[in-house]
């Protein structure tokens, strides 16, 4: 049973089709990367999984649940965006606990989850600061922490490192990989246009272009046996 199953999903904006009967299955505990050039529909696909965009046709299932028409808040996914979107007037601690407070989670449980997320991301010493007092890398750690405290089975990342400089990107990439290893059974779906990120993070990579998945395979296979010239050029091209 796949953790996430996208079945013949089509999405258009106005008259422009963005996804055309796209299907993909993601196994429980898998780290799947959606890789492709800007504008190929990666964010659209991720947002459809999260319920932030309606599908025109097709279905999305999480395990045995058909979530196609479920509200985003009911889907139980945690999402991390490129822009950190932290609440500027709240401390890091408040940013981390906000969603849980809204969901009326018990105070002790909130404290435990915030402490665990802060420890995992090494931001314990930042809990009383405001976002404006953090570096870009620290802000993105908090944004990831906010997803972590939700204890979700499915994590969706949309280019979370694209705003960071190269060194921080490398650091956080390692951190995200480590998180995935520690959170056994957590399914992660990660959008990027960065080939290195895709090849180093993924169990499998889905290379996208022109509304379609061009190839879906483990990194080594994508790299060594690209399915077509586009994949060969895109994955092989120097950055």
Question: Which residues, other chains included, contact 238 with Cβ-Cβ below 8 Å and sequence gap of 6+?
Answer: none
Instruction: Take residue 155 and report the two structure tokens written for it.
Output: 């994590």
| 44 is a site residue for Mg ion (CB under 5 A) | no
Between the alpha carbon of residue 144 and those of residues 28, 48, 51, the distances in Å are 20, 20, 19
From the list ligand ADP, Mg ion, none, pick the one residue 39 interacts with, judged by a Cβ distance below 5 to 8 Å according to partner type. Answer: ligand ADP
| 117 is a site residue for ligand ADP (CB under 6 A) | no
Return the number of the residue (46 or 117) whose C-beta is nearest Mg ion: 46
Q: Shortest gap between Cβ of 209 and ligand ADP (angstroms)?
A: 9
Return the number of the residue (40 or 117) whose C-beta is nearest ligand ADP: 40
Q: Considering Cα of 59, then 62, then 63, then 67, what sign does the dihedral take? A: negative
Per-residue binder mask for ligand ADP (CB under 6 A), 6-35, x = binder: -------x----x-----------------
Return the number of the residue (18 or 154) whose C-beta is nearest Mg ion: 18
Instruction: Take residue 72 and report the two structure tokens written for it.
Output: 């985003």
Between the alpha carbon of residue 125 and those of residues 35, 111, 122, the distances in Å are 34, 15, 8
Q: Shortest gap between Cβ of 118 and ligand ADP (angstroms)?
A: 30
Per-residue binder mask for ligand ADP (CB under 6 A), 38-57, x = binder: xxxxxxx-------------
Size of the site for ligand ADP (CB under 6 A): 10
Stretch that binds Mg ion, among 38-46, 89-97, 141-149, 166-174 (CB under 5 A): 38-46
From the list Mg ion, ligand ADP, none, pick the one residue 18 interacts with, judged by a Cβ distance below 5 to 8 Å according to partner type. Answer: ligand ADP
Q: Which long-range contacts (CB under 8 A, 24 or more apart) does 163-170 make?
A: 163/82, 163/83, 163/136, 164/136, 164/137, 164/140, 165/136, 168/136, 168/137, 168/140, 169/197
Closest residue by Cα to residue 98 from 77, 83, 116, 113: 113
Return the number of the residue (4 or 92) whose C-beta is nearest ligand ADP: 4
Instruction: Take residue 196 and report the two structure tokens written for it.
Output: 């290195």
From the list ligand ADP, Mg ion, none, pick the one residue 233 interacts with, judged by a Cβ distance below 5 to 8 Å according to partner type. Answer: none
Residues facing 200 on adjacent strands: none
Helix (H) / strand (E) element for 216: namely strand 212-217
| 150 is a site residue for ligand ADP (CB under 6 A) | no
Residues facing 216 on adjacent strands: 206
Return the number of the residue (81 or 98) whose C-beta is nearest Mg ion: 81
> In the complex, which residues of this chain contact Mg ion (CB under 5 A)?
43
> In the complex, which residues of this chain contact ligand ADP (CB under 6 A)?
13, 18, 36, 38-44
């Amino acid at each position: 049973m796949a953790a996430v199953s996208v079945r013949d999903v089509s999405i258009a904006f106005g008259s422009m089709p963005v996804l055309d009967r796209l299907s993909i299955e993601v196994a429980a505990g898998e780290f799947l990367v959606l890789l492709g050039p800007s504008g190929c529909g990666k964010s659209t696909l991720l947002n459809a999984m999260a319920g932030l965009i309606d599908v025109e046709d097709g279905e999305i299932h999480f395990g045995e649940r058909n979530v196609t028409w479920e509200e985003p808040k009911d889907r139980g996914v945690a999402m991390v965006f490129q822009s950190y979107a932290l609440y500027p007037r709240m401390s890091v601690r408040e940013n981390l606990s906000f969603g849980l407070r809204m969901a009326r989670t018990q105070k002790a449980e909130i404290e435990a989850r915030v402490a665990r997320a802060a420890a995992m991301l090494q931001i314990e010493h930042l809990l009383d600061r405001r976002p404006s007092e953090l570096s870009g890398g620290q802000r993105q750690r908090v944004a990831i922490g906010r997803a972590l405290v939700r204890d979700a089975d499915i994590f969706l990342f949309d280019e979370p490192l694209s705003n960071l400089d190269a060194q921080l990107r490398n650091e956080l990439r390692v951190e995200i990989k480590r998180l995935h290893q520690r959170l056994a059974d957590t399914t992660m779906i990660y959008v990027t246009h960065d080939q290195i990120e895709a090849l180093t993070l993924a169990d499998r990579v889905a290379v996208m272009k022109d509304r379609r998945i061009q190839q879906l395979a483990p990194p080594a296979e994508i790299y060594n046996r690209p399915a077509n010239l586009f994949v060969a050029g895109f994955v092989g091209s120097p950055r």
